Amino acid sequence: MSKLQPIEGTYIREGVNFSKKDGSRLIITARKQTQSPNKALNFLLYVDSGGKKHYVSSLYGSSVTGQFSLEYKKLRFVLDLTEGTTAKLYRMNQKAA
């Protein structure tokens, strides 16, 4: 995962696909139904310029509808999907730009 770019920023949202002007791409995907209630069903992938997918983090629901929390490189982030065609990914306890 050392090749992954910084993930913070505002993305253009197309369903479960997210892209930035710099070409960065993220995808939300779901794991097959699991018997363990402690495992998250959704997770975030980074897509590199060659189209290869890399695991970023599991996504956990929050108290706000349309927002998820995740951990990446030992930092906590919020994925905010509440603004229609954009998605904002920012560090927890910091306001989205």
For residue range 44-70, what is the model confidence (pLDDT) as tens digits? 999 988 889 999 999 998 889 999 999
Q: Is the pLDDT assigned to residue 4 strictly greater than 60? A: no
96 within a domain of the structure (yes/no): no
Neighbours of 81 (CB within 10 A): 18
2 within a domain of the structure (yes/no): no
Nearest Cα neighbor of 79 from 20, 9, 29, 1 is 9
**pLDDT number for residue 2:** 45
**pLDDT number for residue 95:** 60
35/42 Cα distance (integer angstroms): 14
97 within a domain of the structure (yes/no): no
Count of all residues that appear for the chain in the document: 97
40 within a domain of the structure (yes/no): yes
Mean pLDDT calculated for residue range 10-39:
85
12-21, 27-36, 63-72, 84-93: the lowest-pLDDT one: 27-36
55 within a domain of the structure (yes/no): yes
Contacts of 93 (CB under 8 A, 6+ apart): 76
3 within a domain of the structure (yes/no): no
- Residues of the domain holding 17: 9-91
* Total domain count, the chain: 1
